[in-house]
């Protein structure tokens, strides 16, 4: 039971307000009016006692209503017994004034809250940034409070001509809301500030939601669509395997909501402190954070894609990955020697698995120390990496943030140089903070917010890269993870705040730093969630300068805006069918968060996988944007070649399709980098007008044109696949399916992941190959899949795959097809294609001739049974080429 220890039966009568008393500069709250209390619906109760062990006496001392479970209410443990009465005075608006591009107002607190150090006078600043983006910032005008320095917001000066919204203050001055002008939908509704609290270490506000179709708010293991049935999400970066109701590696306080009209909006809270988010059936969302300020950005859409673009205009658009990073990656914790690394790679290459990137976990290190390698077990590592490069392959290593703090002076450059530059995190006494991760004795941690951190980190990366020329950095354990406190943590309000979020652990410092640890940008209590993104920012920039190429970073810890620095993986997932399924909403959440380069450890990380599970996971993992097979130490080998002939056959089939689709996938990443579009896309983002898509998180799209429907259970004869309204083509048979928005029974076999091409699109593809370099060098092949009106369009982006300055030297082709004609336009750059081919689907009439511009073209094949037309050896020599067929 959330708030009560046992059930009681109480007869309530209406109470008159007791005379409030003065306490600490504010009046103590009056007694609750139980006439008003009875008017509150069960689902609308706002919890007035979120701590444990609620009771009537302490509840009413807060001026709140107490109604325990009884025969009328039912014993529903999620419903709070202690709740705010409606229009309970908290803050009241004063001194409201219009300013250029917005409104400013002062709010005064009426009565003392339960939490210490209320801010009695606060200031609300509503800034109209653009016609579709509004910021609502609530600050303490008398004292500078901590404000997060990530994401790195760089918006142009506010400018509005015809805003889509109205900011309205309630007539009774006890609330506000933001309305969508077109239909008066309240996209942020805090019109009743009964539970609004703004104290030193506890900030709380509730917004009513216009529908239950809400997504985002991570990182947690959960379904894509959030439950509003009294669910709670806790955001506090934490080293824990993904499990239900546990805060894990990242913090992204952003949600996307589809309204009943199918319009969409989004809300982002720019706050890096630990927080709980409570969804209840009103529906409403309550924010509780233990520090910082309230700084909301509201995005008006009106489509889901519009919302995500607007959000990324604030937090930054995703980094363009190097082309090679879209190949298949192979890793394992427990490959304890270079010889074993070579053997694992060789058996997969010999089996026909197109491995692009070989990784090593911490096994390669000397005594678990970063920027070292074991000269015995990994003797010859530099030469091995150079040989990979000669093969057209790449190499990525693990680089944890912690380094040994127990080396003798003059024996460890990373430690000595860090002391010299004063870049290590300090404890509350100002000495270097000492913890324990992998190092045998003790660990110290760079403070990536320190002005000298970039110089230090780049220097360490460069010196090691000069020895082992690695191509990418895997930054792990950076929540930050820490297992011991040799010198303890002093007790303070930072270690034991008056409100304790529902985190995994007994203390905020569980498996991490003391909250009193000191970093350049503030105490760890405030900047904890920013450790990983601070490291990623510096690592990404440093690696680009070292390589003189686009950097490749995969980080476990993330925060809002992380996507502009690198990619993410799903962490220590378990090898179960459930986790296979949950990996899809996990992937799609990060699409909403602006981190498209994402995927979970294929076949699972924890526990032993098995052939059937790994078979299906390899099929799905071939369509993760970041595709890596990886598992833990002391488990069975689960690389594809180790799992038997079935997994090998299935993996080759799925990965060959992936590699052939890399021109399309790379184009999607460019569109994400340029415009903030999604790569792995939830169906509800693409089809918001179709309510049947709102709950779907077992299939997903690449862009608009390819639907991936993985098999998520052991050996079914068929699966049900929902296809939104339109024409869809079976990827394998090329058969056209006309859907009215319905589910289809799709037969399955062990070798195949069901895929569907959406009518209306042109997809650029290449040849299946062993490396991404070979794909890039293969002729371009267009798949033209017309819609019911015979139309299709698409684009193809190509550059050198590694240049840091994306969008300077590139080729962009545009394709438009309509009823027997395909127009290919070079809209940017010079055509670097020798030739291309086009496969047109759904061709109903016999084709007897093909013309390229005004010249007959002989190299074509019409397949009457499949209703396809293949036109080969097309030479694109001018800015616009038109192909016609009759």
pLDDT 10s digits, 344-382: 999 999 999 999 999 999 999 999 999 999 999 999 999
Q: What are phi and psi of 226, to 5 degrees?
A: -75, 150
pLDDT for the residue 26: 87
Per the CB < 8 A criterion, the answer to whether 730 and 628 are in contact is no
As a whole number of angstroms, the distance between CA 765 and CA 693 comes to 28
Bridge partners (DSSP) listed for residue 295: 137
As a whole number of angstroms, the distance between CA 785 and CA 799 comes to 25
Q: How does DSSP classify residue 528?
A: G
As a whole number of angstroms, the distance between CA 496 and CA 346 comes to 53
Q: Is 476 a catalytic residue?
A: yes
Q: CA angle, 599 as apex, 296 and 648 as ends, to 5°?
A: 170
Confidence of residue 877 (pLDDT cuts 50, 70, 90): confident
- The answer, yes or no, to whether residue 731 has pLDDT greater than 60, is yes
Distance from the Cα of residue 328 to its chain's centroid: 21
Q: Is 479 a catalytic residue?
A: yes
Q: Please report, rounded to a whole number, the percentage of residues in the chain having pLDDT higher than 70.
A: 95
As a whole number of angstroms, the distance between CA 882 and CA 784 comes to 14
pLDDT for the residue 25: 73
Please give the structure tokens belonging to residue 717: 């004869």
CB atoms within 10 A of CB 458: 18
As a whole number of angstroms, the distance between CA 588 and CA 595 comes to 9
Q: Give me the catalytic one of 476, 535, 589, 799.
A: 476
Q: What is the mean pLDDT of the chain?
A: 94
Q: What are phi and psi of 418, to 5 degrees?
A: -65, -40
pLDDT 10s digits, 651-667: 999 999 999 999 999 99
Q: Give me the catalytic one of 479, 535, 589, 686.
A: 479
As a whole number of angstroms, the distance between CA 536 and CA 862 comes to 52
Between 36-50, 167-181, 483-497, the lowest mean confidence (pLDDT) is in: 483-497
Q: How many angstroms separate the Cα of 792 from the Cα of each of 94, 445, 619?
A: 57, 53, 28
Q: How does DSSP classify residue 84?
A: P
Query: Can you tell me the mean pLDDT for 665-692?
Result: 98
Confidence of residue 22 (pLDDT cuts 50, 70, 90): very low
Q: Which residues are CB-neighbours of 640 under 8 A, at least 6 positions away? A: 348, 351, 353, 614, 618, 629, 647, 648, 651
Query: Can you tell me the mean pLDDT for 156-162?
Result: 93
User: Which regions of 657-741 does DSSP assign to beta strands (E)?
Assistant: 680-681, 700-702, 706-708, 718-723, 726-730, 736-739
Query: Can you tell me the mean pLDDT for 270-277?
Result: 98
Domain with CATH 2.60.40.1760 in the chain: 91-315
Per the CB < 8 A criterion, the answer to whether 266 and 574 are in contact is no
As a whole number of angstroms, the distance between CA 259 and CA 269 comes to 20
pLDDT for the residue 484: 81
Total count of residues recorded for the chain: 886
pLDDT for the residue 76: 63
Confidence of residue 722 (pLDDT cuts 50, 70, 90): very high
pLDDT 10s digits, 621-652: 999 999 999 999 999 999 999 999 999 999 99
Between 230-234, 364-368, 449-453, 833-837, the lowest mean confidence (pLDDT) is in: 833-837
pLDDT for the residue 490: 87
CATH 2.60.40.1760 fits 91-315, yes or no: yes
DSSP-derived secondary structure for 607-661? S---HHHHHHHHHHHTTSSSEEE---TTS---SGGGS-HHHHHHHHHHHHHHHHT
- Residue closest to 539 by CA, chosen among 516, 562, 572: 562
pLDDT 10s digits, 187-199: 999 999 999 999 9
pLDDT 10s digits, 37-92: 999 999 999 999 999 999 999 999 999 999 986 645 555 668 999 999 998 989 99
- The answer, yes or no, to whether residue 831 has pLDDT greater than 70, is no
Confidence of residue 840 (pLDDT cuts 50, 70, 90): very high
Residues of 553-564 as b/e, b for ≥16 C-beta within 10 angstroms?
A: bbbbbbbbbbbb
Per the CB < 8 A criterion, the answer to whether 436 and 444 are in contact is no
- The answer, yes or no, to whether residue 522 has pLDDT greater than 90, is yes
Peptide linkage before 74 cis (omega within 30 of 0): no
pLDDT 10s digits, 779-794: 999 999 999 999 999 9
Between 97-101, 184-188, 189-193, 482-486, the lowest mean confidence (pLDDT) is in: 482-486
């Amino acid at each position: 039971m959330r708030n009560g220890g046992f059930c009681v039966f109480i007869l309530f009568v209406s109470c008159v307000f007791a005379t409030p008393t003065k306490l600490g500069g504010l009046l103590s709250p009056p007694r609750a009016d139980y006439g008003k209390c009875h008017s509150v619906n069960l689902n609308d109760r706002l919890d007035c006692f979120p701590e444990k062990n609620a009771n009537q006496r302490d509840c009413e001392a807060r001026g709140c209503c107490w109604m325990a479970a009884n025969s009328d209410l039912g014993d529903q443990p999620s419903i709070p017994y202690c709740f705010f009465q409606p229009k309970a005075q908290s803050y009241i608006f004063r001194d409201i004034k219009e300013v250029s591009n917005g409104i400013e107002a002062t709010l005064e607190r009426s009565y003392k809250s339960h939490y210490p150090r209320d801010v009695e006078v606060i200031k609300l600043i509503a800034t109209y940034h653009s016609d579709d983006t509004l910021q609502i910032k609530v600050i303490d005008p008398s004292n500078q409070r901590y404000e997060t320095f990530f994401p790195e917001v760089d918006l142009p000066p506010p400018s509005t001509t015809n805003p889509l919204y109205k900011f309205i203050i309630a007539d009774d001055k006890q609330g506000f809301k933001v309305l969508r002008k077109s239909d008066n939908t309240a996209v942020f509704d805090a019109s009743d500030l009964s539970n609004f609290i703004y104290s030193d270490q506890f900030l709380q506000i509730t917004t009513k939601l216009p529908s239950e179709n809400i997504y985002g708010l991570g990182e947690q293991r959960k379904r894509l669509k959030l439950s509003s049935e009294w669910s709670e999400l806790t955001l506090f970066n934490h080293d824990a395997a993904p499990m239900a109701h546990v805060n894990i590696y990242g913090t992204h306080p952003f949600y996307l909501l589809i309204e009943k009209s199918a319009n969409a909006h989004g809300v982002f809270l720019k706050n890096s402190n630990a927080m709980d988010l409570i969804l209840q059936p009103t529906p409403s969302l309550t924010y509780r954070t233990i520090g910082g300020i309230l700084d909301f950005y509201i995005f008006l859409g009106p489509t889901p894609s519009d919302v995500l673009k607007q959000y990324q205009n604030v937090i930054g658009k995703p980094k363009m990955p190097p082309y090679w990073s879209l190949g298949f990656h192979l890793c394992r914790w427990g490959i304890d020697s270079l010889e074993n690394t070579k053997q694992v790679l060789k058996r997969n290459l010999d089996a026909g698995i197109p491995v692009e990137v070989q990784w090593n976990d911490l096994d390669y290190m000397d005594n678990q120390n970063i920027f070292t390698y074991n000269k015995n077990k990994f003797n010859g590592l530099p030469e091995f990496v150079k040989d990979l490069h000669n093969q057209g392959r790449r190499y990525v290593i693990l680089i944890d943030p912690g380094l040994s703090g127990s080396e003798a002076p003059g024996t460890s450059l990373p430690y000595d140089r860090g002391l010299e530059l004063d870049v290590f995190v300090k404890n509350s006494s100002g000495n270097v903070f000492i913890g324990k991760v992998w190092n045998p004795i003790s660990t110290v941690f760079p403070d990536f917010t320190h002005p000298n951190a970039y110089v230090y980190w780049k220097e360490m990366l460069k010196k090691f890269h000069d020895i082992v020329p690695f191509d990418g950095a895997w930054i792990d354990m950076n929540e930050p993870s820490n297992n011991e406190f040799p010198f303890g943590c002093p007790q303070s309000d930072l270690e034991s705040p008056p409100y304790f979020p529902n985190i995994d652990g007994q203390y905020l410092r569980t498996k991490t730093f003391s909250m009193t640890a000191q970093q350049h940008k503030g105490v760890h209590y405030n900047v904890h969630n920013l450790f990983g993104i601070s490291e990623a920012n510096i690592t990404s920039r440093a690696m680009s300068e070292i390589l003189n190429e686009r950097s490749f970073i995969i980080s476990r810890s993330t925060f809002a805006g992380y996507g502009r620095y690198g990619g993410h993986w799903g962490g220590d997932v378990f090898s179960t069918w459930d986790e296979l399924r949950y990996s899809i909403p996990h992937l799609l959440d990060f699409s909403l968060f602006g981190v498209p380069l994402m995927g979970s450890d294929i076949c699972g990380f924890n526990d032993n996988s098995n052939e059937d599970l790994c078979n299906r996971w390899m099929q799905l993992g071939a369509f993760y944007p970041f595709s890596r097979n990886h598992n833990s130490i002391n488990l069975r080998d689960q690389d594809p070649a180790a799992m038997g002939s079935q997994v090998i056959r299935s993996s080759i089939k799925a990965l060959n399709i992936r590699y052939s689709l890399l021109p399309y996938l790379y184009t999607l990443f460019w569109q994400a980098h340029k415009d903030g579009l999604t790569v792995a896309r939830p169906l509800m983002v693409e089809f918001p007008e179709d309510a049947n898509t709102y709950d779907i998180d077992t299939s997903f799209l690449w862009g608009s044109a390819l639907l991936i429907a993985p098999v998520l259970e052991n050996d079914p004869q068929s699966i049900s696949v929902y296809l939104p309204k339109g024409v869809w083509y079976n990827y394998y048979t090329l058969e056209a399916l006309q859907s009215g928005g319905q589910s289809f029974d799709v037969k399955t076999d062990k070798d195949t992941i069901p895929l569907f091409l959406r009518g209306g699109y042109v997809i650029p593809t290449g040849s299946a190959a062993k490396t991404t370099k070979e794909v890039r060098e293969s002729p371009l092949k267009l798949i033209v899949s017309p819609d019911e009106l015979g139309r299709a369009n698409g684009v193809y982006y190509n550059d050198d795959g590694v240049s840091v300055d994306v969008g300077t030297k590139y080729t962009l082709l545009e394709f438009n097809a309509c009823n027997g004609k395909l127009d290919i336009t070079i809209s940017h750059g010079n055509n670097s294609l020798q030739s291309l081919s086009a496969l047109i689907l759904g061709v109903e009439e016999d084709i007897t001739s093909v013309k390229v511009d005004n010249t007959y073209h002989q190299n074509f094949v019409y397949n009457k049974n499949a209703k396809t037309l293949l036109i080969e050896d097309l030479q694109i020599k001018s800015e616009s080429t038109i192909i016609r067929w009759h």
